[in-house]
Homo-oligomer: A and B are copies of this chain.
């Protein structure tokens, strides 16, 4: 399966999770190809709107450039949405992290599996805590 297809499936899995838990959620078209700042998912429970970048990785760390973080933050701010990174490592559940929980290492930001487990919250906590 291509990485794009895997990413799409991961996004759909989260979309279903939201709808099954009384949230509404949509996938954003062309989020990887549009030249405007974007995100992968917007989800709402009427009271709150959150924006999500979805990452699945087989590696120990997932890296983000300053531009990726800046664009995502800017997009979220313009939509009045609270930005989260949703990340899943091999054989882990989904972890959700706020942007200010992601440390900068030299040039790039990085989420390690350990960081995700230590600082991230699970889906249930995400939708209950907002």
Chain A residues in the interface with B (C-beta under 8 A): 15, 19, 24-31, 36-38, 42, 44-46, 49, 75, 77-80
Contact = CB atoms under 8 A, between A and B. Distances in A.
Given A25-B36, A46-B80, 5 more contacts: A24-B36, A24-B75, A24-B78, A26-B29, A42-B42
Q: Tell me if A's interface is mostly helix, strand, loop or mixed.
A: mixed
A76 to B, nearest CB: 10
A30 B30 CA distance: 11
A27 B24 contact: no
A25 B75 CA distance: 9
A30 to B, nearest CB: 7
Contacts of A80: 44, 46, 49
